[in-house]
Amino acid sequence: MTQKVRFAKMHGAGNDYIYIDNTLYNIKDPAAVAIAWSERHKGIGSDGLVLIGRSPVPDADFTMRIFNADGSEAMMCGNASRCIGKYLFEKGLTDKTEIRLLTPSGVKVLALHLKDKKVERVTVDMGEPVFEDDSQFLCENPPCGGTFVGMGNPHFVIFTSDTQEVERKGRVLEHHAAFPQRCNIEFAEMRPNGIRVRVWERGSGITMACGTGACATAVAACKAGLVGRQSRIIMDGGTLDIDWNEDDNHVYMTGPAEFVFEGEIEYESQ
């Protein structure tokens, strides 16, 4: 059976996803759909697919499931979370300016910042960072040293003077034996106006931005004594502001969310 599915393409600092209201459509194989629709020449083109649903538990208002461009399911995405906040408010699905979003890595709280009744920026409470007992890793083949930070998903942050390394080393490090579940890789350069970061996302490759990656980089830089608890993270698609709060140890990420376009696409449900 073929049906037309209404979608929105949105981006947060250039990190673009296809958004579907899952209460209206039954996407039976979201992994396959993510692969097909994310293809930039034959599909809609995106870093992946995001399904928005109603929460089955009272502790949250809505749910998010996110599938990368290779069909793998992600645990969390900060940029997608911000876009969901904008989508829900501007589509009239909620009038709340504080939204509790249930993700595979727990409930995240979205604080919407409005301008002229539109969502201009969103702050996401990303929770507490997680470290291994020894968060400093040294990989071989290729050789590299970095810091592991968990932000609901795994990140390996490498401080370098050449962020172009993402193109040479990103894919290899994603699949490195040190990361049996694969890993997101950040290449970060300290600059006077902030931290310049390029990201290799697990399951998607090089992306314009990564919210959890920005948080992981800010935390790693603070732990290393390179910055304080507030950081400006400069990515290919835009800038994110990160606050690793000393009182509750939570990481708060603030950044933009934008609609790109909306449309319909045919979906074969059987």
Plot region of 170 (φ>0 → left; ψ -120 to 50 → alpha; else → beta):
alpha
- Is 183 among the catalytic positions? no
Return d(Cα 98, Cα 113) in angstroms, integer: 10
Cα dihedral 150, 178, 206, 75 in deg (nearest 10): -40
Nearest to 117 by CA among 149, 81, 86: 86
Return d(Cα 119, Cα 113) in angstroms, integer: 6
Catalytic residue among 139, 144, 183, 210: 210
Q: What share of the chain is helix, strand, coil (3-state, %, to 5)?
A: 15, 45, 35
H helix count then E strand count, the chain: 4, 18
CB atoms within 10 A of CB 94: 15
- Angle ∠(6,96,65) on CA atoms, nearest 5: 45
**Three-class DSSP category at 171:** helix
Bond preceding residue 142 cis, omega within 30 of 0: yes
Longest CA pairwise span in the chain (Å) = 58
- Is 210 among the catalytic positions? yes
Question: Would you please indicate which residues are annotated as catalytic (active-site) residues?
Answer: 77, 210
